[in-house]
Amino acid sequence: MTATITDMHADDVVSIGEIERRNYAVPWTDGIFRDCIKAGYKGFLLKDDGHLLGYAMLQIGYKESHVLNLCIDSPYQGLGYARLLLSHMESVSLAERAETMFLEVRPSNPRARALYEANGFNEINVRKDYYDTPTGREDAVVMAKTLVR
């Protein structure tokens, strides 16, 4: 893997939004990404040879971090790129003194859930009707990982 991870900036939002809309039935809007960047959340781009493969958004607060979004464009899924971004977010979280990392995942996304479980995340709760879907609402499985220094 020769992919590199760089910080996300507001001028990256158009490219991110294109990937977001290709990969999610109910995608984040460009405005949500811009708001996250304005709020100081940490966004990351995963590129290979200048080509955007995926991205992630991480919120870090007092002793915890929260994976808000992690997406690998569909042609590049299953190649270990999500694991690479997740590992990077864990390193950034540790550097910012976070002790626990949280995320939500759709029950209808078993590949993502398996990725998180394989990387030490455990189910801690369910948020009822958390996600929008094209036909209604879907629960979210809340997962957490204790970070070790």
Catalytic residues: 104, 116
Q: What share of the chain is helix, strand, coil (3-state, %, to 5)?
A: 35, 40, 25
Q: What is the pTM of this model?
A: 0.94
Find out whether 89 and 101 touch, Cβ atoms under 8 Å: yes
CATH number of this structure's domain 4-146: 3.40.630.30
Per-residue pLDDT of the chain (149 residues; tens, 9 = 90+): 689 999 999 999 999 999 999 999 999 999 999 999 999 999 999 999 989 999 999 999 999 999 999 999 999 999 999 999 999 999 999 999 999 999 999 999 999 999 999 999 999 999 999 999 999 999 999 999 999 87
The domain spans of the chain are 4-146
Q: Of 96, 113, 94, which Cα lies nearest the Cα of 104? A: 113
